[in-house]
Structure 1
Amino acid sequence: MPTPDRTSLELIVSAARGILERSGADGLTMQAVADRVGVKAPSLYKRVRNRDALVGLVVEATLVELAVRLERARVSVSRDDVVAAVAREFRAFAHEFPVAYAVSVGPLPEDSRPARETLAATSAPIIDAAASVVGEQHALEAARTITSWANGFLGMELSGSFQLGGDIDAAFDYGVDILQRALVVSVSER
């Protein structure tokens, strides 16, 4: 098998996220990643401290990619559509990487938690979208409202909790529309 120098950290993280998506959190083992990148499991420990640290690297990579996609969505639309665009991209990302998304927004052991800078970068497009609707003074509160609603909706959707029928896409759009209007009203009432 190749030496660890022939295996990059980027390849290790990519393999880990692929395994996470296919096999779930329990399937993400150092051995599975080692097999995927073509090294012996002990070789991985030269690059990654332990499984929790590996999960942390996957979370970091996931949130960095989410931040890029949210920012792209934010700048691609007018002020009137920015909350909806960011929320829809958030949902699209969660559907593309449901397990990595769920792990990234769920409770994590200390070694798996993303850096504060990563969290700030991921939050920035949502805060900027919120600011365009409610202004800078209330942007953080509005961004937390948007994120909480989207995470709640997506958590239920991805776990199959919506069992009463109906169009889930329409329900998401309805929620985004109500949220956008509520934010606009909150500004006019201040």
Structure 2
Amino acid sequence: MSTGQGEYTLQTCASKPGQRVKQISGGIDGTVMLKDIDDGRCLVALSGSVLGLGSCGPANRWRVMRGPDGSCQIEHVTSNTCIDSANAGPGGRPILYSCHPRSGVGQTQKFDHVTNQSWIRTPGSWGDNGRQRMFPLCLDRLPVASRSITIQDCGETTKLGVRWERIHEFVPLETKLWNDAEKPLASDGVLGGDMAPP
């Protein structure tokens, strides 16, 4: 799966080459360069609002802007445009688009720079009263083909050295609320009263 000039797509986040981007501080104005750890080049604005790799320098500086709700936008300073997912799902191409006002950043421009993993990631979100879930996706210039999985005997897979890593682990809000809620005592009786006689 080639991405041409190092153009980025949105993929499931993983600790792998193609997703590791480090902030290189610089300007006294708070701007940074975003350098690909494995390639050595920097995140740049290519022609046609395409996000890719190029030489590091003053024309390729970025500003991470935090909104009042805690969300982040990542702005390319020279073009005054922001990284935008363009509602693309896994495999889609993010673009550079006019920055939304900071007072109401749209979901398509919410990105985090997860420094301990060196990811530029869309936050997970949900819609339609929880019936739609959008999982976090990361910028990736070296996507790999998805692998199919099957159920196998645990003993055999252990011998082969297969290991799993939990990612995007969280406690659902409903579970947290239930666990934190005060529970009635057994002596309080049944909610709604006793069962009606037959």
- Tell me the TM-score normalized by structure 2: 0.23
**Higher helix residue share:** 1
Larger radius of gyration: 2
The structure with the largest strand share of the pair is 2
